[in-house]
C-alpha cells in the first residue's frame, strides 16, 4: 500500500510537470493549429537558464530564497523571450503556407535550439542545484512523498489556477478564447491577432519554464536533450486530454504521469518511454480528438 | 427500363447540434438538368458532400442507377468509391491540383478507370504504355470539350477563374460519370464566361450526361434546368419546373431580403 | 538604399538578440568547480551577426517587392527567364551528356581519390538513396514521415540478425531487408495513414522511437545498446575481400543502387501512381472525389519509401560491420528530411544535390562539422520561409500528344 501511494505521488508529480508543458502545446494549437515542436526546447532553455542563474548566484553567495526567486524569474523571462522570438522568426512568416510547412519549420527550430545549447554550454549532464529544501514538517511522510513533490504539486496547482483566471477574466484571455474559436471573426471584431498569438507563446513558454525549473531541481541534473522526450510526452498528454482544451491538457498530463509511474513501478522500468510513446500512438489512431476535445469535421 | 439516375430519400445530416439536412428527397432522371437552389447556408453543399461520401450522412439512402444499367447504394461509401460507381462532382471553392498542369489535372480523373501500378510504372510494359497513351488522349478530348485545349501544359494555378471552373468540370468528366454534380459552376464568372458555361452544360446534356447543379445565378438556373429543387434551413421547401418555382410564394418568401444575383 | 529607420530597427533586433542569448551564450557556470566564465566575445558576435543579418533580410525583401512590382508593371514580360538548371534539365541535349559525365566521374572516383574519400562518398551516396526514398513519401505524397529511420533500422537489423542466426549473406539479405522494411511500412502505415498530416508526423516519430527503444532494451533479441558486431562485408561470389577491396566493392554497389533508384523514382514520378501521389499532396479531398483510393495510394508511397530505407539499412550494416540502436535516432530521420527539404520536395535532382551538399560539406570542412546539426535545423526553418520549393524545384513534365495525334491521323 505504501508503495502504491509512493507511486501515486510520483505519478502526480510527473503528471503535473507534463501538464505544465502540455498547456503550451494545447494553447498554441488552439490558436494557430500548429504542433509547436520546439516547445520542448523552450522548456529545456528554461531549465538551463535556471541552472545558469542559480549556479552563478550560489557562487556569488546569494541566499537560497533569493536564488529560487531570481532563477525562477530568469527562467520564465528568457523562456518567454525565446518562445516569442521563435514564433516571430519561424512561424509567423508561414501563417498562410501549407499546413506542413510550419511544422517542418518547428522541427528545424527544435533541432537548432538543442544544438545551440549543446554548443554554447555542454553535452554533459550538469548537476542542478537543489533549490527546494527538505521541509521539517514533511519529515513523517518523507518515505512516501518528498518535499519537492509537494512543492511541485502546489506550484503547478497555483499556476493552473492563475492561468484559468487569466483566460477567463482578463482582456487578453478573452481575446485568446475568441481567436481560438474563429480567427477571422476575431480579426473582424478588432482583436489584434498577432498580439494574441505572441501572448499565447509567452504564457505557454513561461509555464514550461516553471516546469523546467521544478523538474530539474527535483531530478538534480539537466542536459540539452531533456526537452525532446519531455516535449513528446507533454504533447502526448495534450492529445490525450484533447488538444486545444486546457482542462484536457491537465487531465492528460495527470493520466500520463500516473500511467508511467504505475507501469514502471509494477511492470518494468526498462520500457518507461515506450509506454508513453505507445499511448501517444494509440490515442492518435483511435481517438485523435482526445478525452475532452471536440471531433472536428473538415468543412468542404 | 428505369429512367431515374439518382434517387435520394430521407437524407439527414447533423453537425453536433446543427441539423444541416432534414429528411431530404431528391431525384434526377436520365438526361435531365436539375438545379438545387436556396439561400446561403441552406445546406446545398452539405447535400453534395453527403451524396458523394465526403460526409457520412446521419440518415437516408442514396441510390444511383448508372448509364451502364448498374444500381448501387452509395451512402456509407468512401468518396472514391462513389466516383467509381459513376458520379463525379466539382467544388464550390475550387480545389484543383495547383502545382500540376492542366492536362495532369484531367489525367488524375482517369485514375479510377485505369489500372497500371508499381511494376507497370517501373518497367513501362507495352500494356502500361498503351494505357498511359489512352489516358493522355482521352484527357485531351475532354479538354477540347470544355475549351481548354490551348492550356494543356499550363499550370492549373495560372488559369483564370472561369477557366479553373471549367477545368474542374473537365476533371470530373474524366472519371466517366453518369451523373455530374456541379457546385456553383458560374460563381465568379463574367457574363461572357457564364454564357459559354451554359453552352457547355447543354452540350454535356446532349452527350448523355445527367446534371445536378447548385447555382445562385437565377437566370442561368431558369434557362438551363428541367426541374428545380429549393432548400432552406436544410429542408426542401419546393420543387417543380422553372415556371412553377418562379411563381411559388414559399420560394419567394424564403428569398425575400436575399440578394438575387440574377 | 537603407534608411535611418531601417538601421534603427536592425539595431533594436540586434539588441534583442544580445539579450536573448545572454545567459546561454555568454555565461558558462561550473557548479562543481564553482567557477564562472564570462564569454563577452560571444555577445559581440551575436550583436554584429544579428545586425548584419537583419539588414540583409531587409534589403532582400525590398528588392523582392521591387521585382514583383516591376513584373506586374510590365505585363508583356511574362516569360520569366527560367533558371539555367531548369533549362539543362528540360533539354535532353544538355541533360544526357551531363548525366553521362557525372556517371563516368562516379565510376573513376575511387581511382582519383584514396580509400578514405571513397568511403565518405559511399556514405554520401547512401544518403542520396535515403533522400530519394523519403522523397517519395514526403516530397511526392506529402506524408511527413518522421520515423523514416525505423525502416533503415529494420533493414540493418534484418541483415545483422539473419546473418548471425542463419548465416544469410549480403546479397540474400538485401532483398529480404527491403521486403521486411516494406512489410513494416505497410503494417505501421495501415492504421496511421488516415490521420491528418501533422498527427501522422508525430505518430511516425513515435513509432520510430518505439522501435529504437525496443532495440535498446530487448537484449535477447538485439543485444541491446551494445549492438551487433562482426557483420560481414559483402562478398563477391563467396570470396572474402580485403578491407580495401570491400570498400571499393561497396562503393560500386552504391553507385549501381543510386542509378537504379534514380531510374525507378523517375519512372514512378511520371506514372499514374506518381500523379496520384502528387494530387494527394495537393488536395486530399479533391483527390478522393476524383476516385483515388487515399489509403492504398498513401500506403504504396509509404511502403516504397520504406523499401529503400530497408535496403540502405542492409548496406549500412555491411559497410560499418557494426550496428547499435544509437545509429537510428530521430536525428537521423531529421537529417534525411533536411536533405529532401533543402533539395526540393519532389525534385529528384534537388534531393541528390541536397544529399551531396549536406553530407560532403561537413566532412570536408571539418571546422563546420561541429555545427552540422545546428545547420540542419536552420536549413529546415530557412528553406520553409524563403524557398519552400527547395534549391532545385520540381517542374512537372509535359506530355507529348500532338505529335502522336498527327501520327494517328496518317
Ligand atoms: N463541417 C461542418 N461542420 C459544422 N457545420 C457545417 C459543416 N459544413 C457545413 N456546416 C453548416 O451547415 C450549414 C449549411 O452549409 P452549406 O455549406 O451546405 O450551405 P450552402 O447551401 O452550400 O450555402 P452557400 O450557398 O453559401 O454555399 C451551414 O450552417 C454550415 O455552417
Ligand atoms: Mg455551398
Residue A253: C-alpha distances to residues A14, A58, A243, A282 (Å)? 8, 33, 12, 16
Q: At B67, phi and psi to the nearest 5?
A: -60, -30
Q: Which structural domain, as residue segments, surrounds residue C340?
A: 113-386
Among candidate residues A233, A225, A239, A224, the one with its CA nearest the CA of residue A274: A233
Inside any domain, residue C283: yes
Domain count for chain C: 2
Say whether B52 sits in a helix, a strand or coil: coil
Could you tell me the CATH number of the domain that includes residue C359? 1.10.3470
> What phi, psi does B147 have (nearest 5°)?
80, 35
Cβ atoms of A29 and A35 closer than 8 Å: yes
**Is C84 within the bounds of a domain?**
no
Report d(CA C325, CA C212) in Å as an integer: 6
Q: Where do we find the cell 562482426?
A: C230
Residue of A nearest to C210 (CA): A274
B-chain CB neighbours of A300 within 8 Å are: 45, 49, 54-55, 91
**Residue B19, beta-bridge partner list:** B14
- Looking at the fold, whether C118 and C225 belong to one and the same domain comes out as yes
Same domain (yes/no): C215, C278: yes
CA-to-CA distance for B235 and C308, rounded, in angstroms? Answer: 54
Residues 182-211 of A with CB under 8 A from C: none
Is residue C88 one of the residues assigned to a domain?
Answer: no
C194 vs B102: which has the higher pLDDT: B102
Pair (C32, C152) in one structural domain: no
- Whether the CB-CB separation of C333 and C149 falls below 8 Å is answered with yes
Q: Please check whether residues C68 and C138 belong to one and the same domain.
A: no
- Residue A198 pLDDT: 94
The pLDDT value recorded for residue B211 is: 94
Determine, for residues A115 and C374 on separate chains, whether the beta-carbon distance falls below 8 Å: yes
What are the boundaries of each domain within chain A?
A: 2-286
Half-sphere exposure at residue C370, Cβ-oriented, CA atoms within 13 angstroms: 8
Inside any domain, residue C102: no
User: Which residues are B101's β-sheet partners?
Assistant: B155
Q: Are B47 and B11 in contact (CB under 8 A)?
A: yes
Going by CA atoms, what residue is nearest to atom 7 of ligand 1? A299
CA-CA distances (angstroms) from residue C40 to A120, C43, C44, C45, C47? 13, 5, 7, 9, 11
Helical (H) or strand (E) element with B239: strand B235-240
For residues C315 and C323, give the distance between their C-alpha atoms in angstroms, rounded to a whole number.
11
CA distance C273 to B115: 9
Chain A neighbors of B55, CB-CB under 8 A: 297, 300
B262 pLDDT higher than 70: no
- Which of the residue ranges A287-291, B35-39, B71-75, C233-237 has the most confident prediction, judged by mean pLDDT? B35-39
What ipTM was reported for this prediction? 0.90
Query: Cα separation of A258 and B29, whole Å?
Result: 61
Q: Chain C contact for A94, CB < 8 A?
A: yes
What integer pLDDT is reported at residue A203 of this predicted model? Answer: 94
Q: B45, A300: Cβ pair inside 8 Å? A: yes
Distance CA B183, CA C269 (A): 32
Tell which of C77, C104, C126 closes a domain.
C77
Confidence of residue B198 (pLDDT cuts 50, 70, 90): very high
- The answer to whether C377 contacts A45, with C-beta atoms less than 8 Å apart, is no
* DSSP β-bridge partners for residue B62: B8
Neighbours of C356 (CB within 10 A): 18
**C165 and C311 inside one domain:** yes
Interval between CA B29 and ligand 2 midpoint (Å): 23
Across A195-233, b (16+ Cβ under 10 Å) vs e yields ebbbbbbbbbbbbbbbbbbbbbbbeeebbbbbbbebbbb
Q: Which residue's CA lies nearest to atom 29 of ligand 1?
A: B41
Residue C210 and residue C298 in one domain: yes
Q: CA triplet C267, C271, C276: central angle to 5 degrees?
A: 130
B91 touches chain C (CB under 8 A): yes
C71 and C117 co-located in one domain: no
CA distance B49 to chain A (A): 8
Q: Can you tell me the distance from the alpha carbon of A197 to that of C67, in angstroms, rounded to the nearest whole number?
A: 31
Chain B: residues touching A (Cβ < 8 Å): 15-16, 45, 49, 54-55, 91
Q: Does C167 touch chain A (CB under 8 A)?
A: no
- pLDDT-flagged residues of chain C (< 50): 75-80, 403-410
- 8 Å CB contact between B98 and B155: yes
CA distance A98 to chain B (A): 12
The four Cα atoms B51, B53, B58, B60 give a dihedral, to 10 degrees, of 40
C167-200 pLDDT, tens digit each: 888 898 999 999 999 999 999 888 888 888 888 9
pLDDT of B257 above 60 = no
Residue B21 CA, ligand 2 centroid: distance in Å = 13
Helical spans, DSSP H, in C231-371:
243-269, 272-282, 284-289, 294-320, 330-343, 348-364, 366-369
pLDDT of amino acid A137: 73
Strand B59-65 to strand B33-37: parallel, antiparallel, or no bridges (unpaired)?
unpaired
B121 touches C: beta carbon within 8 Å: yes
Count of other CB atoms within 10 angstroms of residue C398 = 13
A300 → closest Cβ in B15, B16, B54 = B54
| Domain-located, residue C104 | no
- Looking at the structure, do residues C59 and C141 belong to the same domain, yes or no? no
- pLDDT at site C79: 45
Residues C182 and C44 in one domain: no
Query: Running along chain A, 300 residues long, what does each successive block of 10 average in pLDDT?
Result: 85 91 92 92 94 92 90 95 95 90 94 94 86 72 74 89 91 90 87 92 94 88 90 91 89 92 82 84 87 75
CA distance to partner chain A, nearest, from residue C346 (Å): 15
Domains of chain B, earliest start first: 1-86+177-185+209-262 (3.40.50.300), 95-176 (3.40.50.300)
Residues of chain B with pLDDT > 70, as a percent, come to 97
Residues of chain C contacting B103 with CB distance shorter than 8 Å: 398-399, 401
With an 8 Å Cβ cutoff, are B111 and C272 in contact? yes
Query: Any residues with CB less than 8 A from the CB of A266 and at least 6 apart, and which?
Result: A7
Q: Name the CATH code of domain A2-286 (choices 3.30.450, 1.20.58, 1.20.120, 1.10.3470).
A: 1.10.3470
Determine, yes or no, domain membership for C219.
yes
**Atom 2, ligand 1: which residue's CA is nearest?**
A299
CA of B234 to the centre of ligand 2 (A): 12
A300/B15 CB distance under 8 A: no
C153 neighbors C183 (Cβ within 8 angstroms) = no
Same domain (yes/no): C52, C150: no
The pLDDT value recorded for residue A190 is 87
Residues C180 and C226 in one domain: yes
C210 shares contact with chain A (CB less than 8 Å): yes
Instruction: Name B21's bridge partners.
Output: B13
B103 reaches C (C-beta below 8 A):
yes
Mean pLDDT computed over B14-20: 85
Residue where one domain finishes, among candidates C50, C77, C104: C77
Asked whether residue C353 falls in the same domain as residue C262, the answer is yes
What is the whole-number distance in angstroms between the Cα of residue A300 and the centre of ligand 1?
9
Q: Is the CB of B50 under 6 A from ligand 1?
A: no
Cβ-based neighbours of C174, under 8 Å, separated by 6 or more: C159, C311, C314, C315
Distance B46 CA to ligand 1 centre (A): 6
User: Which-ligand-closest: CA of B20?
Assistant: 1
Q: Is B88 helix (H, G, I), strand (E, B) or coil?
A: strand
Distance in Å, alpha carbon of A227 to nearest chain C alpha carbon: 14
**Pick from B131, B160, B128, B164: which is nearest to B146 by CA?**
B164
H/E run at residue A212: helix A193-219
Question: Does residue A297 have its Cβ closer than 6 Å to ligand 1?
Answer: yes
Which residues from A are below 8 Å from B when comparing CB atoms?
A: 294, 297, 300
CA A260 remoteness from chain centre: 17
Would you say residue B31 has pLDDT above 60?
yes
Amino acid at each position: 500500500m505504501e508503495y502504491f501511494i509512493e507511486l501515486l505521488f510520483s505519478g502526480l508529480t510527473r503528471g503535473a510537470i507534463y501538464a505544465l508543458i502540455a498547456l503550451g502545446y494545447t494553447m498554441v494549437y488552439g490558436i494557430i493549429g500548429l504542433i509547436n515542436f520546439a516547445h520542448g526546447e523552450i522548456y529545456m532553455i528554461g531549465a538551463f537558464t535556471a541552472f545558469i542563474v542559480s549556479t552563478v548566484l550560489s557562487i556569488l553567495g546569494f541566499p537560497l530564497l533569493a536564488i529560487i526567486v531570481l532563477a525562477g524569474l530568469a527562467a520564465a523571462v528568457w523562456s518567454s523571450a525565446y518562445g516569442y522570438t521563435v514564433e516571430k522568426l519561424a512561424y509567423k512568416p508561414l501563417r498562410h503556407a501549407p499546413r506542413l510547412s510550419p511544422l517542418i519549420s518547428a522541427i528545424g527550430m527544435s533541432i537548432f535550439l538543442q544544438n545551440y545549447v549543446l554548443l554554447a554550454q555542454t553535452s554533459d549532464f550538469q548537476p542542478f542545484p537543489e533549490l527546494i529544501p527538505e521541509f521539517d514538517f514533511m519529515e513523517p511522510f518523507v518515505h512516501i512523498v518528498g518535499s519537492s513533490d509537494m512543492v511541485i504539486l502546489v506550484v503547478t496547482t497555483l499556476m493552473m489556477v492563475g492561468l484559468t483566471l487569466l483566460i477567463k477574466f482578463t482582456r487578453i484571455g478573452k481575446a485568446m478564447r475568441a481567436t481560438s474559436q474563429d480567427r477571422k471573426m476575431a480579426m473582424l471584431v478588432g482583436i489584434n491577432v498577432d498580439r494574441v498569438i505572441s501572448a499565447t507563446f509567452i504564457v505557454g513558454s513561461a509555464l514550461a519554464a516553471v516546469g523546467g525549473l521544478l523538474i530539474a531541481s527535483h531530478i538534480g541534473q539537466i542536459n540539452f536533450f531533456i526537452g525532446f522526450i519531455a516535449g513528446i510526452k507533454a504533447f502526448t498528454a495534450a492529445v490525450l486530454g484533447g488538444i486545444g482544451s486546457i482542462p484536457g491538457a491537465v487531465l492528460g498530463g495527470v493520466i500520463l504521469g500516473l500511467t508511467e509511474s504505475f507501469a514502471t513501478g509494477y511492470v518494468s522500468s526498462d520500457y518507461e518511454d515506450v509506454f508513453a510513446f505507445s499511448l501517444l500512438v494509440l490515442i492518435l489512431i483511435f481517438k485523435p480528438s482526445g478525452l475532452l476535445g471536440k471531433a472536428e469535421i473538415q468543412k468542404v | 427500363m428505369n429512367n431515374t439516375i439518382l434517387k435520394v430519400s430521407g437524407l439527414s445530416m447533423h453537425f453536433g447540434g446543427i441539423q444541416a439536412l432534414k429528411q431530404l428527397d431528391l431525384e434526377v432522371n436520365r438526361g435531365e438538368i436539375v438545379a438545387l437552389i436556396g439561400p446561403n447556408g441552406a445546406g446545398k453543399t452539405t447535400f453534395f458532400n453527403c451524396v458523394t461520401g465526403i460526409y457520412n450522412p446521419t440518415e437516408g439512402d442514396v441510390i444511383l442507377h448508372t448509364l451502364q444499367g448498374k444500381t448501387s447504394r452509395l451512402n456509407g461509401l468512401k468518396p472514391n468509391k462513389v466516383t467509381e460507381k459513376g458520379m463525379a462532382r466539382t467544388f464550390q471553392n475550387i480545389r484543383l491540383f495547383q502545382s500540376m498542369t492542366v492536362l495532369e489535372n484531367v489525367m488524375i480523373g482517369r485514375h479510377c478507370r485505369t489500372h497500371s501500378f508499381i511494376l507497370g510504372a517501373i518497367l513501362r510494359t507495352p500494356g502500361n504504355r498503351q494505357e498511359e497513351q489512352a489516358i493522355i488522349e482521352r484527357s485531351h478530348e475532354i479538354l477540347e470539350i470544355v475549351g481548354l485545349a490551348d492550356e494543356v501544359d499550363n499550370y492549373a494555378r495560372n488559369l483564370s477563374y472561369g477557366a479553373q471552373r471549367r477545368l474542374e468540370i473537365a476533371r470530373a468528366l474524366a472519371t466517366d460519370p453518369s451523373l455530374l454534380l456541379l457546385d456553383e459552376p458560374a460563381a465568379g464568372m463574367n457574363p461572357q464566361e457564364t454564357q459559354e458555361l451554359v453552352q457547355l452544360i447543354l452540350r454535356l446534356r446532349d452527350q448523355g450526361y445527367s446534371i445536378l447543379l447548385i447555382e445562385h445565378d437565377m437566370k442561368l438556373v431558369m434557362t438551363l434546368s428541367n426541374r428545380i429543387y429549393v432548400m432552406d434551413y436544410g429542408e426542401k421547401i419546393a420543387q417543380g419546373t422553372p415556371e412553377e418555382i418562379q411563381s411559388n410564394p414559399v420560394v419567394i418568401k424564403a428569398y425575400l431580403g436575399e440578394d438575387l444575383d440574377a | 538604399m537603407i534608411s535611418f529607420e531601417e538601421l534603427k530597427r536592425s539595431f533594436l533586433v540586434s539588441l534583442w538578440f544580445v539579450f536573448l542569448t545572454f545567459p546561454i551564450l555568454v555565461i558558462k557556470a561550473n557548479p562543481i568547480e564553482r567557477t564562472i566564465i564570462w564569454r563577452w566575445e560571444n555577445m559581440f558576435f551575436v550583436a554584429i551577426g544579428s545586425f548584419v543579418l537583419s539588414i540583409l533580410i531587409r534589403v532582400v525583401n525590398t528588392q523582392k517587392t521591387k521585382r514583383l512590382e516591376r513584373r506586374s508593371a510590365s505585363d508583356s514580360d511574362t516569360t520569366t527567364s527560367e533558371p539555367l538548371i531548369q533549362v539543362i534539365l528540360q533539354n535532353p541535349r544538355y541533360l544526357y551528356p551531363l548525366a553521362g559525365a557525372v556517371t563516368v566521374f562516379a565510376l573513376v572516383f575511387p581511382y582519383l581519390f584514396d580509400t578514405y574519400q571513397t568511403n565518405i562518398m559511399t556514405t554520401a551516396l547512401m544518403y542520396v538513396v535515403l533522400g530519394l526514398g523519403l522523397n517519395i513519401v514526403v516530397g511526392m505524397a506529402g506524408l511527413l514521415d518522421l520515423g523514416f529511420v525505423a525502416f533503415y533500422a529494420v533493414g540493418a537489423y534484418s541483415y545483422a540478425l539473419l546473418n548471425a542466426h542463419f548465416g544469410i549473406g549480403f546479397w540474400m539479405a538485401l532483398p529480404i531487408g527491403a521486403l521486411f522494411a516494406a512489410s513494416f511500412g505497410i503494417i505501421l502505415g495501415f492504421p496511421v495513414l488516415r490521420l491528418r498530416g501533422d498527427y501522422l508526423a508525430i505518430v511516425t516519430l513515435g513509432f520510430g522511437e518505439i522501435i529504437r527503444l525496443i532495440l535498446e532494451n530487448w537484449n535477447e533479441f538485439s543485444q541491446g545498446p551494445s549492438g551487433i558486431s562482426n557483420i560481414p562485408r559483402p562478398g563477391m561470389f563467396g570470396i572474402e575481400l580485403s578491407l580495401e577491396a570491400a570498400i571499393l566493392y561497396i562503393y560500386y554497389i552504391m553507385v549501381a543502387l543510386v542509378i537504379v533508384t534514380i531510374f525507378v523514382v523517375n519512372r514512378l514520378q511520371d506514372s499514374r501512381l506518381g500523379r496520384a501521389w502528387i494530387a494527394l499532396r495537393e488536395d486530399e479531398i479533391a483527390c478522393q472525389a476524383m476516385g483515388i483510393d487515399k489509403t492504398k495510394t498513401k500506403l504504396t508511397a509509404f511502403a516504397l519509401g520504406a523499401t529503400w530505407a530497408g535496403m540502405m539499412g542492409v548496406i549500412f550494416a555491411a559497410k560499418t560491420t557494426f550496428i547499435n540502436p544509437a545509429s537510428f535516432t530521430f536525428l537521423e530521420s531529421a537529417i534525411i528530411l533536411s536533405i529532401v527539404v533543402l533539395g526540393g520536395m519532389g525534385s529528384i535532382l534537388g534531393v541528390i544535390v541536397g544529399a551531396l551538399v549536406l553530407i560532403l560539406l561537413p566532412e570536408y570542412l571539418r571546422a563546420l562539422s561541429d555545427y552540422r546539426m545546428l545547420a540542419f535545423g536552420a536549413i529546415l526553418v530557412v528553406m520553409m520561409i524563403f524557398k519552400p520549393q527547395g534549391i532545385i524545384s520540381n517542374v512537372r513534365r509535359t506530355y507529348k500528344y500532338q505529335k502522336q495525334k498527327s501520327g494517328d491521323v496518317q
